[in-house]
Amino acid sequence: MNNIEIYTRPGCGYCTHAKRLLTSKGLAFTEYDVYQHPEKISEMRSRTKGRTYPQLFINDRAVGGFENLLQLEKHNRLSNETPNEVN
């Protein structure tokens, strides 16, 4: 099973869509709201060059944002198995 982490901020529509997609696929995830936990901003930045929200990680590997998550879904790579790279 995958370890999915998602960094979010309040009022972010893409964050909401990403969480809905993961939930609809039955995938559990850990959410880090950077407004409630500001220390998570520097943690996220140390893990990826992405600065927009959401930022997703699957098994400690940076996936990117919502558009990247959609690409995983489009190519049937979003499941309880480790996804391949998004092209």
Distance, in Å, from the CA atom of 45 to the CA atom of 40, rounded to the nearest integer, reads 8
- The 10s digit of each residue's pLDDT in 56-87 is 999 999 999 999 999 999 999 887 654 544 44
Domain boundaries of the chain, sorted by first residue: 4-74
> Domain 4-74 has what CATH class?
alpha beta
- The 10s digit of each residue's pLDDT in 37-62 is 999 999 999 999 999 999 999 999 99
First to last CA, the chain: 23
pTM of the predicted protein model: 0.88
Give residue for tokens 């500001």: 38
